[in-house]
């Protein structure tokens, strides 16, 4: 069961005392009632220390970690059940920090056809497979950044998981995401129909219009507000900014006032600049980030989610500049375009683009937990934290590809996968 009491935002400019977003419909599944469980891998990487600890074990009682340390120093209750995980490293469950559970890869079905031809029921049915696949791949938390035409169905998915109806990661959701009129897609219809066609995100214009839509999405269950600072709507189809500075400021003001953070899609430099000036919480993709903007992000505590694994996006230079500037780098694969269940490819991609395995592992654990304001209960193997734990074959701090073999998955003390 997730209990959320405080909600401290990444961005230093955020309103103080923000409250938890995940309110509605959150009758959570009860903690498992069975005996305590002692997990005995070859080593534990707790995400706090750099090096994994050989010979450590973890004791789980209910949905929490009761003890972690050298096996001989843990006092194990007589009724505890021992699970040995030979050849593995036990570590915190990972987070998919930028997912779209209502999408599947475009080589299966083009995005336009998913949005226009797949009924909501079908999309939700498929999404139940997506969330299960992600959990079984070792991703115990997910931030969903837009249903792409599937309205508010991410809210129901989140709640179904929290209530134990279907297996999946703990979710924070953005619902429909917000664009300015004309910016987004599907496009290319006869001009007389174009304004009537359903869109992959909700349109809003002018500070008042933006305020209304942000509040409406909150009313419908959004934990995050997702804005598209830019999209491919330039005169030649190139990415150009959408929201004006005033509109962006208004969205951030309204969202923060309600205790919700703001995630912003940007690929242009000007789009990113406006978002950062407005004091958003995370920059997604960030293809246009310059050293100056990255410096501002570091000052404001704005996290960066580079999504290196979709498209042909070599972000090595931007990532190097981001690290130099001191920006918190988070893990998010844009799962949806990337197959759900292949989420670890992003963590591997971060290493391919120049992060050390340790930096990439932290992006997917402690940094994502901080981004989601769950760092007081998730993202590390610590006494008192929720028992969201996975075991991977080998040592991921030495070889990041270890993340593709996940024989053990536990979320909230419940075992979903076991060798
Ligand atoms: Zn996305």
- 69-75: average pLDDT: 97
Ligand 1 centroid, distance to 66 Cα (angstroms) = 36
Sign, CA torsion 275/280/282/284: negative
What is the structure's pLDDT at 347?
98
Whether the per-residue pLDDT at 15 is higher than 50: the answer is no
Ligand 1 centroid, distance to 126 Cα (angstroms) = 18
Ligand 1 centroid, distance to 265 Cα (angstroms) = 7
Contact 355, 329 (CB under 8 A): yes
What is the structure's pLDDT at 12?
34
- 150-161: average pLDDT: 98
Ligand 1 centroid, distance to 23 Cα (angstroms) = 24
Quote the percentage of the chain above a pLDDT of 90: 90
What is the structure's pLDDT at 10?
39
Q: How far is 40 from 70, CA to CA, in rounded Å?
A: 10
Ligand 1 centroid, distance to 339 Cα (angstroms) = 13
With CA atoms as reference, report the closest residue to 168 among 124, 107, 119: 124
CATH 2.30.40.10 describes domain 37-91+399-417: yes
Whether the per-residue pLDDT at 196 is higher than 90: the answer is yes
What is the structure's pLDDT at 26?
44
Ligand 1 centroid, distance to 50 Cα (angstroms) = 30
Domains 37-91+399-417 and 94-377 share a fold: no
Ligand 1 centroid, distance to 335 Cα (angstroms) = 8
Per-domain residue ranges for the chain? 37-91+399-417, 94-377
The separation between CA 133 and the C-alpha centre of its own chain, rounded to angstroms, equals 15
What is the structure's pLDDT at 23?
39
pTM of this prediction? 0.93
Whether the per-residue pLDDT at 7 is higher than 80: the answer is no
- 9-16: average pLDDT: 36
Ligand 1 centroid, distance to 337 Cα (angstroms) = 8
Kind plus residue range of the DSSP H or E element containing 193: helix 191-194
What is the structure's pLDDT at 116?
97
What is the number of other CB atoms lying within 10 angstroms of the CB of residue 202?
A: 18
Q: Is 69 left (phi over 0), alpha (psi -120 to 50) or beta?
A: left
- 224-229: average pLDDT: 98
CATH of domain 94-377: 3.20.20.140
Whether the per-residue pLDDT at 245 is higher than 80: the answer is yes
Q: Where would I find the beta strands (DSSP E) of 93-215?
A: 94-99, 139-144, 170-173, 178-179, 202-203
Q: How far is 334 from 103, CA to CA, in rounded Å?
A: 10
What is the structure's pLDDT at 253?
98
Ligand 1 centroid, distance to 99 Cα (angstroms) = 6
CA atoms within 13 A on the CB side of 45: 29
Ligand 1 centroid, distance to 43 Cα (angstroms) = 35
Ligand 1 centroid, distance to 102 Cα (angstroms) = 11
Ligand 1 centroid, distance to 377 Cα (angstroms) = 26
Model confidence pLDDT, tens digit, residues 99-155: 999 999 999 999 999 999 999 999 999 999 999 999 999 999 999 999 999 999 999
pLDDT confidence tier of residue 31, bands split at 50, 70 and 90: confident
């Amino acid at each position: 069961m997730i209990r959320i009491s405080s909600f401290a935002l990444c961005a230093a400019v955020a309103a103080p005392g923000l409250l938890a977003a995940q309110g509605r419909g959150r009758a959570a599944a009860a903690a498992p009632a069975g005996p305590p469980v002692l997990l005995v891998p070859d080593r534990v990487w707790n995400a706090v220390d750099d090096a994994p600890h050989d010979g450590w074990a973890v004791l789980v009682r209910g949905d929490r970690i009761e003890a972690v340390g050298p096996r001989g120093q843990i006092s194990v209750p007589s009724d505890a059940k021992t699970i040995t995980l030979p050849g593995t490293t036990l570590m915190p469950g990972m987070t998919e920090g930028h997912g779209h559970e209502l999408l599947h890869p475009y080589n299966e079905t083009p995005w336009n056809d998913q949005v226009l031809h797949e009924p909501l029921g079908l999309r939700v049915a498929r999404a139940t497979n997506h969330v299960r696949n992600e959990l079984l791949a070792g991703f115990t938390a997910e931030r969903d950044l837009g249903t792409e035409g599937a309205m508010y169905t991410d809210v129901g998915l989140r709640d179904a998981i929290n209530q134990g109806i279907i297996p999946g990661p703990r979710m924070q959701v953005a619902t429909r995401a917000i664009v300015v009129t004309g910016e987004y897609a599907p496009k290319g219809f006869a001009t007389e129909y174009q304004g009537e066609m359903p869109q992959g995100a909700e349109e809003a214009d002018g500070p008042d219009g933006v305020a209304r839509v942000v509040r409406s999405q909150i009313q419908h269950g959004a934990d995050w507000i997702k804005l598209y600072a830019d999209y491919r709507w330039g005169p030649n189809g190139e990415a150009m900014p959408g929201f004006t500075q005033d509109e962006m400021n208004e969205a951030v003001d309204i969202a923060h006032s309600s205790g919700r953070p703001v995630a912003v899609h940007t690929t242009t430099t000007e789009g990113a600049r406006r978002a950062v000036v407005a004091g958003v919480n995370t920059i997604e993709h960030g293809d246009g980030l310059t050293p100056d903007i990255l410096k501002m992000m570091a000052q404001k505590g704005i996290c960066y989610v580079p999504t290196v694994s979709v498209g042909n996006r070599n972000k090595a230079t931007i990532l190097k500049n981001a690290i130099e500037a001191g920006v918190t780098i988070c893990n998010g694969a844009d799962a949806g375009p990337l197959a759900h269940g292949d989420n670890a490819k992003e963590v591997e991609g971060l290493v391919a683009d120049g992060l050390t395995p340790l930096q990439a592992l932290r992006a997917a654990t402690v940094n994502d937990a901080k981004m989601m304001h769950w760092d007081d209960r998730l993202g590390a193997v610590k006494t008192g934290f929720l028992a969201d734990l996975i075991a991977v074959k080998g040592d991921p701090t030495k070889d990041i590809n270890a993340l593709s073999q996940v024989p053990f998955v536990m979320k909230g003390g419940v075992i979903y996968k076991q060798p």
